[in-house]
Structure 1
């Protein structure tokens, strides 16, 4: 079965791609934003304002360092950008005022310095290709969750050999409310917010070594962390209700829905049996079976949208699929009226985004 996609609107990139990354959705329980990172600034706006036919106000945050030196997240209220850099977390408001900064160990694995400034390393090859952490602002805007390389510069006796830590901070002043040893050695990481501000998912990439999935709970006094899936689950999304989450296995064979309370698997879909080979694949091809992309989500509480773009692109058009979230059976393929690129980003209300072929715009779709 095929499902026709209807275009709702197209969102042009606010910054020129010559000096900026492609615009990216930042989808959370309380706000759905589009964020574009340039070398000198970050631009963000409310997706829902555009979807309603309005002209969304663009909010701009001056960037403390060029885009290749770390990641960035924007608060649901569009009042704060948190830059997770090579040597520090820095929170900046729209006026460019630094609200707070937390310095930490260097993400360059061969460096043991606690840098005081970005100016210490921009020409260093190791720092240019350093690993990275990430941060996310909780649904209520009051907490920042951050995955950093230890130690903290504020430690009384910093351990130069410390590895990754997971922090909960006060978004207003950067005070560290809780910290735990993440017991990871990240090349990169991504936070996946939960509707409950006291919960957060963290997916850590360690290259061939695995993909630890951490689930954190903060009760206002104590941070507890569960490590789920034997380092084989990549966390992709949380359902709109917060009751379930979605993963794909490290080598992209199986997409699964889990109970958020304990991480147990409720249903799964193996790409090799759930999805047919690409129709334009030669009959004598010795290519591997289809595999899921590292990006998928809940189109709504009962429907998952996923893609096999990575395994499709060599043969022709990239394919997107709808699955029944209760049993993880494929219900059909999405039919687009013109070519799209990459994977879909689910918004939780029956709509989703894709990127234009040129990467300079986002298309908003509905069935």
Structure 2
């Protein structure tokens, strides 16, 4: 009696299967698209305008990237838990004024002024977290209140004037270069690596994803979800204060004029463009950094091309709409595939 055996797969079949598997993983990895977009935008602008890729402009983008990137990481940590923080921009602006006031008008040393400001921003984040977890208030409402109050506090302290004469420490942080690389950009890179390690290499970081993906399932698994949510709100507010140090050092004065206004939209856009799901539980630091870089390329490119700044928000809104649409389509596609 003869037995038949199935033909062994050929090398060509194995190669095709491997390529199909790789293509499928690439389709389901949002970071690939945004990284490719960064490369394309950078190349196109560098070819069209040689000044875009020169050292001076790249260093300027490095300073901007550090400021926006820090609040984007903080915003993303909150979104990963299923929440939202609309106060990151306004809180950054308030931290600039608080540090200036503590240093110049209260006469505190720069280090003490920074620590006092970070303590206040951390307390604000703690209140956000407790309101969301204990009082079950909507994150949108809680942080919108802080957004409004922070802007009011900023204007009340300055009365429309700038605070001058700040300590040299702020300038040392906000304007220093290390091997021609802006120090704020290096600090941002350190924070990004720390956030990446926390989310992807620690047990607590994985719990953050679990809470954002399904809070009830996380609770049944013994995860203290409320603590994770509170911690992310505190971290977001602290990063807003930390970014304020860089902004103050770069400006050299404590001014309420336009500082932080609308930056929360850029932070949310960077997160969503980078693959962070607005429903929580999905997203990685690599994508968030790439999303921030892409937005900076676009903003700077519009300036280099001498396009009216009034169109910047239009472009930002269109990019954000495309990112949200892509996020929903990707989520539906993954759900259909089970």
- TM bracket (short chain): under 0.3
Higher relative contact order (CA 8 A, sep 6+): 2
> Which of these two proteins has the greater Rg computed from alpha carbons?
2
**TM-score with structure 2 length normalisation?**
0.23
Greater strand percent: which structure?
1
**TM-score with structure 1 length normalisation?**
0.22
Greater helix percent: which structure?
2
